[in-house]
Structures are given as structure tokens and as C-alpha cells.
Amino acid sequence: MRFPIFNLFMCSLLSMYLLPLRAQVLIDQEATIETKNLYQNLFKLQDKKALLFGHQDALAYGVTWKDVPNRSDVKDVVGDYPAVFGWDIGGIEHQRSHNIDQVSFAKMKAFIVDRFEAGSINTISWHMDNPQSLGNSWDTTTAVASIIPGGKNHQLYVQWLDRAADFLKELKTKEGVYAPILFRPFHEHNGGWFWWGNPHCSPDDYIKLWKFTVDYLKNKKNIHHLIYVYNTNNFQSEEEFIHRYPGNDYADMMSFDTYQFAKPSPSKAELEQSKKDFTALLRNNLAVLQQYAQKNQKPMALAETGFETIPDPTWWTQTLYASVQDFDICYVLIWRNHGLKKEENQMHYYAPYKGHPSSSDFKNFYTLPNVYFGKKTKALNLYK
């Protein structure tokens, strides 16, 4: 009996070490080698507490410019591009030439491939129009039940997925190598502002929609360069975070979005209170997420954040970095630099531009040893 018992002991011991490794695999077993390598490197980034910096639409426009080749507000300030580039394909469902933020889809494809070849990471969200009312993403007419299998608008949704798939299949180099994408559909779903949000569909229907979307893109459209990112807005507990989680077999990565808010031209006291509230909220989110992500062997990210117009000149090091430095997130992405919103007569931007009061602190943030922008990220060879 000694030998079988010894074998059983060794098998049990081996399984203890192999279980985490086995869990660190993509849900798509046919994922491209570059996608698999990127996924494994996301875990390595977390292990070394490397924080990649990202920016939405960084190459498409800035606070005072649009469609200027090779320009970026971030690069104007620190002489380097972000490490992560966010894009949105809202509008692709209608075969439009430009997305909801007036970025040309043709240029977006070129940007994505260019940044992949530069060793950076691309992530895509989808502010999809409401398939029931045909209003925008913020039209909260009940729609999810109508587009899951058996729903009256299901075939319309399939058509929209086909159009998105056509776009995704074109994200490849001249040599035919696909650019891996962190795909973050139906984001901030625990909020009520999108038609897929918590008040507007049941947890079961949301999960059915998520699972159908993944299965269709992966199995029917044969798209194998996506890393599927589950995303919420703020939450207080693990139960709230996973309320509509589709399960470990349907999500590769976990993330959330959160922003700091203050009224225009806040006083010093108001700014300090805003910082205190945001820091507490962000750190609670991160603590809850980290515990759950580690338990389920998933990498995690702060997928959207920022402080509109950045009224705090030391926000980058004293608020953002100070809040996240103790947690194992592989990247943080700042929202877009639209500039002046004429219809609202107010500025809308989240990254500094040259001459902005927070530029000096942003440069300090850039030089932190475990903060990564484009140049340092390229040296990591994330796709190998």
C-alpha cells in the first residue's frame, strides 16, 4: 500500500502546483500564439507590479488637434506614447465610416496594427446602439431580452456581430499576423446608463447575451485574437461585482471603471474632499477585485478612469499612483481628450496636454520605475 499512497500524495501535491497554471489559460483554446503570449505576460506584469499606462483614442485627436500623423497629447508632454491604446467600435453595427467619437474606422485599423507592431496593447469597447429602439447606447429602452437566442431582434444582433467580426478580422499585419485585442463589450453593466445595464435586463439575460456573443465570435466567426474582458462600474462587494459574471469559462480578464468628480473650478477644500472620496472608492474596488481575481486566476485592470480637466496639479502621483500602487493591476487607462464640447460649452479631456498645469507631475509619474509607457513596454516583448 505504501507505493500507491505515495503516488496519490505526489499526484495531489503536483495538482496543487499545476492548478493555478492550468487556470491561466484563455477561454479560446484556439487563440493565436501572440494572444496566448500576451495573456501570460499580463500575469507576469502583475507579478512584478508593472503598471502600464493607457489612453483612449490617443492617436486620433487631442485637446487642440485632430488627424495629425504620429501625434499624441501624451507624447507631446513626456516624449513617449502610452503603452495601452483604447478604441471604441460604436457605429460598426451600422457599417458607418466613423465611430461614435468620429474616429475613422479605416484609420483605427491602421492605428491598432501600428501599435501592435510597436509592442503596445490595444483594447476595444463597443458603445453599441440600442437594437430595439435604434437609439444610442444611453437609450435605455428594454432590449437585451429581444436579442438573445429566441428574441425578436436576435437576427439583427447576429448581423451586427457579423459586421464587428469583419472589422476584427482586418486587424492584422501585412504578414497576416492578427493584433491581439482586449475586448470589453457591455461594459459598466452594473450601472443604469446603458441599455444593457443592471436595471434594464435580468442577470440571466445579460449572461445569455455575453455567452452568445463569445461563442458566436469564437466558434462561428473563427476569431481567435480576442481576450474577453468583464467590466463593471463601482461596486462595494464581491457579490455586487460578480452579480452578472458569466463564469470563468467565458471571461479572460476582470476590470472596472471609476472616475473622480468635482464641480468646475473647485476650491482647495472641495478638491481635497473629492480626492479623499475617490481614493477610498478606488482602493475599495481594487481590494475586492484583487481578492476575487487572484482566487479565480484572472488578470485585472482599471479599464477606465480619470479626472476631467485634471484640476489637481499633482493628481498623477499623489492621487492615481498613490491609490493603485499597492495592487496588482496590469494597466490603467485614462479616458479621451476630446477638447471643447461646443454643445455643452465645456472642456472634456483626461490626459494632460503640453502646458497643462499637471504636466510636471505627469512627467514625474512617467519616470516612476514600475510605470510603463510605450518605450519600456516595447522592451518587454509582450507577444513573445
Q: Is the pLDDT of residue 9 over 70?
A: no
Mean pLDDT of 147-171: 99
Residue 98 lies in a domain: yes
Q: Is the pTM of this model over 0.75?
A: yes
Output the average pLDDT for the chain.
95
pLDDT tens-digit profile of 32-58? Answer: 999 999 999 999 999 999 999 999 999
Residue 383 lies in a domain: no
Residue 137 lies in a domain: yes
Please, are residues 49 and 328 in contact by the beta-carbon 8 Å criterion? yes
Percentage of the chain beyond pLDDT 70 is 94
Q: Which domain holds residue 136?
A: 34-378
Please, are residues 64 and 55 in contact by the beta-carbon 8 Å criterion? no
Residue 51 lies in a domain: yes
Q: Is the pLDDT of residue 61 over 50?
A: yes
pLDDT tens-digit profile of 324-344? Answer: 999 999 999 999 999 999 888
Residue 8 lies in a domain: no
Which of 89, 79, 27, 85 lies closest to 56, judged by CA?
A: 85
Q: Is the pLDDT of residue 20 over 90?
A: no
Number of folded domains that form the chain: 1
pLDDT tens-digit profile of 358-379? Answer: 999 999 999 999 999 999 999 9
Residue 282 lies in a domain: yes
Q: What φ, ψ does residue 88 adopt, rounded to 5°?
A: -135, 135
Look at the block and give the residue holding cell 492584422: 172
**What CATH number did the domain enclosing 216 receive?**
3.20.20.80
Cell of 359: 504636466
Q: What is the pLDDT of residue 344?
A: 87
CB-count exposure of residue 281 (10 Å: 0-12, 13-18, 19+): middle
Which amino acid makes up residue 45?
L
Residue 130 lies in a domain: yes
Residue 294 lies in a domain: yes
Cell of 152: 425578436
